[in-house]
C-alpha cells in the first residue's frame, strides 16, 4: 500500500486598511451629522447642497448614494440602518464613481469655431506599444475613442503588392493593420464617449490610385457622417455644435504633397539636404517644412518607393487628375506657405489650415515668435507632436502648447507618465467631451492689435466681491 501526501490550503480574508479620515472630513461629518455617529440621507442632502454646490440634488439622490454605499461596504448593514458612518462618508468623498471630481455635463459654449478649443488628440493612434516594433491595431484606437479622444492619427502606406492600403509606422518593424478595419472601428466607436466631431488626420504616403481607393473606403464607410465642405478651402472653421456626430478628414492636399515630393527629390539629387537632429526616420519635403520641422514626417518621411517616385515625377498632372474625390474629402487642409517659420505662421484672411510642429520646433518658435503662434491659433489649427526620438512612446509637457493656444497637442495614448495623466485630467473637464474652450485671453485682440504674450510679466488681476447683509 503506497503512501500519499496531502496539501490543505486555508483561505483567510484580510480587511483592507483604509487611511483615516482627515481633519476637514471629520469636521464636515460632525457638522452635518449634528454631532451624532451617523449621517442620514437628509443630512447628506444638506451637505451636497451647501458644500458640494449641487443645488440640483434632491433628497432622493442622497438616499440613492446612501443605499449604494451600504450595499458596497456593508452587505448586511442595509437591513439594519440607513445612515452613513464617518468611514462611509470618507469613502464617498474619495469615490470616483459616487463623487466624481468633475461633473459629466458639457457646460462650455460649443458654438465657437473649432479653433477656439483645445482638442483631445492622439499621436500614432494605431500603435499598441513602442514606436519601433509594436503591433499596429484598431484596438488602441477604440480605447482612445472610448476615453473621449477626438483626433485620431493614421499613417497610410501601400501594402507590399501596392494594391491596398495599410496603416503602419513607416520604415520600422511595426506590423501593419488594414485601413478599412481602422475606419470601421472608428465609425462604430467614434461617438461612444462624446457626440462632438472626430478628426482623422492622415499621414499620406500613397499613389493617386490608392488615394482614390482611400476616398472610396472613407465615403462608403462613413457615408453621411462625413463632413465635406462646399468650397475647396474653408474660410472659417465650423463649430463643434454644428459638427455633432460628424467625421472630419485632415491631411495635405494631393497638389501640395506632389510639390513637396518633387522638391525633395531635387534636393536629394543635388545632395544639399541638411540632416536634422529630429529627422530620425527620413527627410522632410522641403516646401512643407518649418525650419525643417513641419509635418510629422520627421518621424515618417513622405517617401514612397523609387519606382513610384520616378513615375510620379514624369506625370504630375495625370496624377492629380486621378484623385479628385480624395481631395474633396479633405475638410481641414494641412501644410503651409513657402518660406520659414515666420511665413508659416502667417494668418491668411481667406482660408484656414492646419500646421504641425514637433515639440522641439514649438519651443524654438515660442522663443522668438510667441505672439505669432498665439495669433495663428486664433483662427487656424496648430498641431504639436512628440519628437521622433521618443521610441518608447513617452510624452512631453503639454502646457507650452496650451499656453500658446495650440489646439491639437498630440500624445501617445498608449504611453505612460505624469504628462499623460495631466492630459487625461485636462480633458475630464467639460463633461469629458474631448473639447475644452480656450480661455478668453488667448482669443482676445487688444485695441492696438496686440495679442496675449505668454512671456510678458502681467499684473495679477484681483476680483473683489462684496456681500451686503440686510438685518
- Residues labelled as active-site residues: 123, 169
Separation CA 319–CA 207 (nearest Å): 8
Separation CA 216–CA 6 (nearest Å): 67
User: Cell for 28?
Assistant: 464636515
**CA pseudo-torsion sign 320, 328, 374, 358:** negative
Helices assigned H by DSSP within 337-430: 341-344, 359-377, 399-403, 418-426
CB-neighbour burial class of residue 189 (10 A; exposed 0-12, middle 13-18, buried 19+): middle
**DSSP code at position 136:** B
**What phi and psi, each to the nearest 5 degrees, are found at residue 202?**
-105, 130
Residue 334 neighbours by CB distance under 10 Å? 25
> Parallel, antiparallel, or unpaired for β 165-167 and 151-158?
antiparallel
**CA pseudo-torsion sign 33, 39, 45, 51:** positive
> What radius of gyration do the chain's Cα atoms show?
27
Within 13 A of 208's CA, how many CA atoms are on the CB side?
20
Q: How far apart are the first and last CA of the chain?
A: 98
Separation CA 128–CA 138 (nearest Å): 9
Q: Are 176 and 268 in contact (CB under 8 A)?
A: no
Distances (CA, A) of 416 to 127, 146, 226: 14, 18, 32
117 forms beta bridges with: 437
Phi-psi region of 351 (alpha: psi -120 to 50; beta: other; left: phi over 0): beta
CB-neighbour burial class of residue 395 (10 A; exposed 0-12, middle 13-18, buried 19+): buried
Amino acid at each position: 500500500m503506497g503512501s500519499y501526501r496531502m496539501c490543505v490550503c486555508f483561505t483567510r480574508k484580510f480587511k483592507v486598511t483604509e487611511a483615516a479620515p482627515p481633519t476637514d472630513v471629520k469636521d464636515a461629518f460632525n457638522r452635518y451629522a449634528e454631532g451624532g455617529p451617523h449621517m442620514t440621507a437628509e443630512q447628506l442632502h444638506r451637505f451636497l447642497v451647501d458644500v458640494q454646490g449641487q443645488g440640483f440634488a434632491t433628497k432622493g439622490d442622497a438616499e440613492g448614494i446612501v443605499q449604494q454605499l451600504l450595499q458596497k461596504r456593508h452587505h448586511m448593514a442595509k437591513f439594519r440602518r440607513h445612515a452613513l458612518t464617518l468611514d462611509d462618508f470618507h469613502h464617498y468623498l474619495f469615490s470616483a464613481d459616487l463623487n466624481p471630481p468633475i461633473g459629466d455635463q458639457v457646460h462650455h459654449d460649443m458654438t465657437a469655431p473649432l479653433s477656439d478649443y483645445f482638442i483631445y488628440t492622439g499621436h500614432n493612434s494605431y500603435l499598441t506599444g513602442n514606436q519601433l516594433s509594436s503591433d499596429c491595431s484598431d484596438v488602441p484606437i477604440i480605447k482612445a475613442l472610448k476615453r473621449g479622444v477626438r483626433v485620431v492619427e493614421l499613417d497610410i502606406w501601400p501594402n507590399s503588392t501596392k494594391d491596398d492600403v495599410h496603416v503602419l509606422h513607416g520604415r520600422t518593424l511595426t506590423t501593419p493593420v488594414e485601413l478599412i478595419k481602422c475606419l470601421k472601428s472608428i465609425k462604430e466607436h467614434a461617438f461612444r464617449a462624446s457626440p462632438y466631431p472626430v478628426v482623422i488626420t492622415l499621414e499620406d504616403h500613397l499613389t493617386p490610385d490608392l488615394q482614390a481607393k482611400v476616398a472610396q473606403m472613407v465615403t462608403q464607410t462613413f457615408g453621411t457622417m462625413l463632413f465635406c465642405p462646399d468650397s475647396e478651402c474653408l474660410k472659417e472653421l465650423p463649430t463643434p455644435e454644428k459638427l455633432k456626430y460628424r467625421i472630419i478628414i485632415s491631411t495635405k492636399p494631393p497638389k501640395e504633397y506632389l510639390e513637396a515630393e518633387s522638391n525633395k527629390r531635387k534636393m536629394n539629387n543635388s545632395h544639399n539636404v541638411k540632416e536634422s537632429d529630429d529627422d530620425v526616420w527620413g527627410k522632410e519635403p522641403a516646401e512643407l517644412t518649418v525650419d525643417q520641422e513641419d509635418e510629422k514626417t520627421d518621424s515618417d518621411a513622405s517617401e514612397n518607393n523609387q519606382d513610384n517616385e520616378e513615375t510620379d515625377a514624369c506625370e504630375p498632372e495625370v496624377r492629380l487628375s486621378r484623385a479628385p474625390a480624395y481631395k474633396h474629402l479633405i475638410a481641414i487642409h494641412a501644410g503651409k506657405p513657402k518660406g520659414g517659420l515666420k511665413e508659416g505662421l502667417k494668418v491668411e484672411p481667406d482660408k484656414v489650415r492646419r500646421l504641425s510642429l514637433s515639440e522641439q520646433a514649438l519651443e524654438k518658435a515660442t522663443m522668438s515668435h510667441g505672439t505669432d503662434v498665439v495669433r495663428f491659433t486664433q483662427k487656424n489649427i496648430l498641431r504639436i507632436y512628440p519628437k521622433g526620438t521618443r521610441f518608447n512612446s513617452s510624452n512631453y509637457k503639454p502646457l507650452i502648447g496650451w499656453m500658446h493656444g495650440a489646439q491639437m497637442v498630440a500624445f501617445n495614448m498608449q504611453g505612460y507618465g505624469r504628462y499623460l495623466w495631466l492630459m487625461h485630467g485636462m480633458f475630464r473637464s467639460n463633461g469629458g467631451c474631448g473639447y475644452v474652450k480656450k480661455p478668453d485671453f488667448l482669443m482676445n485682440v487688444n485695441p492696438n492689435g496686440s495679442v496675449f504674450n505668454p512671456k510678458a510679466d502681467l499684473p495679477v488681476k484681483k476680483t473683489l466681491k462684496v456681500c451686503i447683509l440686510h438685518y
